[in-house]
Amino acid sequence: MIATVKTHQHATVEAGWTLIGMIDESQALQHQRGTCRDSGGAKERGGDVADYADKAPAVLTEAGDPGAVPPVADSDGDRAVAVADAGPLIAAAGDGSSVAGTKEAADPASAALEKDLAALVAERGLLVSRRIGRGWAISGRDEQRPPPGDWATWLVMGGRGSGKTRAGAEWVHGLALAAGSRTELRIALVAETLGDAREVMIDGASGIARIARRMRPEVEISRRRLVWPNGAIAQIFSSEDPESLRGPQFHFAWCDELAKWKHAEETFDMLQFALRLGEQPRQLVTTTPRAVPLLKRLIGDAETRVTRLSTADNRDNLAPGFIAALERRYGGTRLGRQELGGELIEDREDGLWRRERLEALTVRLMEPLRRIVVAVDPPAGSGPASVCGIVVAGLMDNGRAAVLADCSVEGKSPAEWARAVVNAYRRFEADRVVAEVNQGGDMVAATLKSIEANLPVTMVRATRGKFLRAEPVAALYEQGRVVHAARFSELEDQMCDFGPDGLSSGRSPDRLDALVWALTALMLEGVGEPRIRGV
């Protein structure tokens, strides 16, 4: 889209110009030489363009491909205003004089262009809108655009709902469009899981398939790729399978939520070897910040340009009251600064765990397991914010313990979280379920057995505070006696934010509690805690 206008009554459009009025996302009106017809050709009428002031914003552009980026003029062509998706903003008069500049130097709302556009309105009866509903050149924020200069990595760290995904999708789609009518451009899309790549990067509300206004790519899910009409291809990868990046090669890459990747170091290393096409391979990393070693190294890299976004920056595109509600709950907390403000929060000085240590204890290959337990920390309630901590851990033949999965669920009823526990028990072929009964008493075991009557459940009751219970488990990590089978970002967030006063957010460390119960049952039974009675 070039410039947005609304027509007054009896405004005319002369030969050579087309007025495209966006009625909604699926229907457009085209007007040429005073003729109006809808996108299906259902109606036509000649003469002056009727009163469309009550319609959605319209666009004046040269007749032809509405996706092109020509100048925009009023009906007699004395003035033109062009806003290209990737280029300067220009306001030009018929005598050859012009006002031009880059997006930074001459925004449509800047004084120089505003004066010229005001003259256009006064002389030609056209109302120029300040917003183009779907035009990224106008609706996108400056910090969502690629930085200038030479760089190898553009790192966008932002809070929840801050516009990270939209920035990534627009960047990838823009690369495909800029490649020309025929291209062999190759792009890698890497997410934590293949499901995340599909649900967020491609089909999500801000995903590539949703924001593509023209030259929409076809999703070939069986081949795990997107194909644009001009031949550009984006291939999908998961951090769960770093080896899948061995072999392919790319010009560009988009890495989403890198701080959550399960095998981050291996996956990222394999991607770097694959970025070997073209004169200047580049990658975009969009992520909620976590103080993981890989992210900290990227920030310190001289070839990285860092952009920081906050949730509040994107308030115009979020549900009313969303930001206010989160600020009331998390404002001023470490979790809020990370998840809303997009800040990189270092580990607590008085915390029991360090991310660097957890990173070193994350392994892919483990010894055979001789015992597996599923530990559950039931929530106190069943509201949308309640979390049932469910952690699976096993004891290896070499005497070390391995954390196998974080299966915790949010906002579930007792029957639903009980089913999640049973599913984890079956999936990992566990030997026993360990359930804390401080919240719910014997009803916890009854709820679990209502899903599977023969489920072996060991009930445990805490007699000491959470920090005191966690200290001996943290000591196991210090001794190298516990490893993680993958990165469990939300669990590890709680581990590294847990101090003598609990979590900085004040919330219950539900995932951490489940971890403590699992490792206590496997490694620390017989030292006085927990008090156990079998069921």
Domain C-terminal end among 307, 339, 371: 339
Checking DSSP bridges between strand 457-461 and strand 531-534, what pairing results, if any?
A: antiparallel
The C-alpha atoms of residue 136 and residue 66 are separated, in whole angstroms, by 16
From CA 407, how far away is CA 384, in angstroms rounded?
A: 17
Is there a single domain that holds both residue 11 and residue 111? yes
Cα-to-chain-centroid distance, residue 79? 41
Contact 154, 146 (CB under 8 A): yes
In this structure, the answer to whether residues 56 and 158 fall within a common structural domain is no
| Residue 345 lies inside a defined structural domain of this protein | no
Q: Are 106 and 176 members of one domain?
A: no
The verdict on 321 and 403 lying in the same domain is no
Domain count, the chain: 3
pLDDT class for 478, splitting at 50, 70, 90?
Answer: very high
Average pLDDT, the chain: 75
Cα–chain center distance at 219:
19
Q: Does the residue 348 lie in any domain?
A: no
Q: Is the pLDDT score of 60 beyond 50?
A: no
Say whether both 131 and 155 belong to one domain: no
Tokens of 531: 């008090």
Q: What CATH code is carried by the domain that includes residue 227?
A: 3.40.50.300
Cβ 490 vs Cβ 512: under 8 Å = no
In a domain, 349, yes or no: no
Classify residue 131 by burial, with Cβ atoms within 10 Å: 0-12, 13-18, 19+: exposed
In this predicted model, what pLDDT tens digit does every residue of 190-207 receive, in sequence order? 999 999 999 999 999 899
User: What is the per-residue pLDDT for 328?
Assistant: 77
Beta bridge partners of 35: 32
Instruction: Quote the percentage of the chain above a pLDDT of 90.
Output: 45
Rounded CA-CA distance 117/126 in Å is 9
Specify the 3-state DSSP secondary structure of 457: strand
102 and 25 co-located in one domain: yes
pLDDT for the residue numbered 224:
96
**DSSP secondary structure letter of residue 519:** H
Give me the pLDDT at residue 82, please.
Answer: 32
Domain boundary among 112, 135, 158: 135
Do 529 and 461 meet the contact criterion of CB atoms below 8 Å apart? no
User: Domain containing 260: what range?
Assistant: 142-339
* Residue showing tokens 């991607």: 271
Mean pLDDT within 239-246: 95
Assign residue 26 a region (left: φ > 0; alpha: ψ between -120 and 50; beta: otherwise). alpha
* pLDDT reported for residue 116: 56
189 and 218 belong to one structural domain: yes
Q: Is position 347 within any domain?
A: no
Whether 224 is covered by a domain: the verdict is: yes
pLDDT band at 250 (very low <50, low <70, confident <90, very high): very high
Residues 403 and 527 in one domain: yes
Residues 390 and 467 in one domain: yes
Return the residue matching tokens 């890698």.
188
Q: Looking at per-residue confidence, does 337 or 251 come out higher?
A: 251
Tell me, what amino acid is at 382? S
Q: Does a structural domain hold residue 462?
A: yes
Q: Is the pLDDT of residue 76 over 50?
A: no
Q: Is the pLDDT score of 166 beyond 50?
A: yes
11 closest CA partner among 52, 56, 43: 52
17, HSE (Cβ side, Cα atoms, 13 Å): 18
Confirm whether 405 is domain-assigned: yes
One domain, residues 283 and 372: no
Q: Are residues 449 and 321 in the same domain?
A: no
CA distance 231 to 184: 6
Q: What's residue 443's pLDDT?
A: 82
Q: From the CB of residue 150, how many other CB atoms can be counted at a distance below 10 Å?
A: 9
Position 66 scores a pLDDT of 34
Q: Is the pLDDT of residue 395 over 70?
A: yes
The residue among 108, 213, 206 whose CA lies nearest residue 165 is 206
Co-location of 245 and 294 in the same domain: yes
CATH of the domain at 523: 3.30.420.240
Radius of gyration of the chain (CA): 29
Domain boundary among 92, 118, 135: 135
Query: Per the domain annotation, does 275 fall within a domain?
Result: yes
Q: Give the residue among 324, 340, 146 at the shortest CA–CA distance from 252.
A: 146
Q: What span, in angstroms and rounded, lies between the C-alpha atoms of 297 and 285?
A: 13
Of 405, 440, 398, 397, the C-alpha closest to 424 is: 405
Which residue, among 449, 444, 473, 472, has the nearest Cα to 459 in the 3D structure? 444
pTM for the model: 0.59
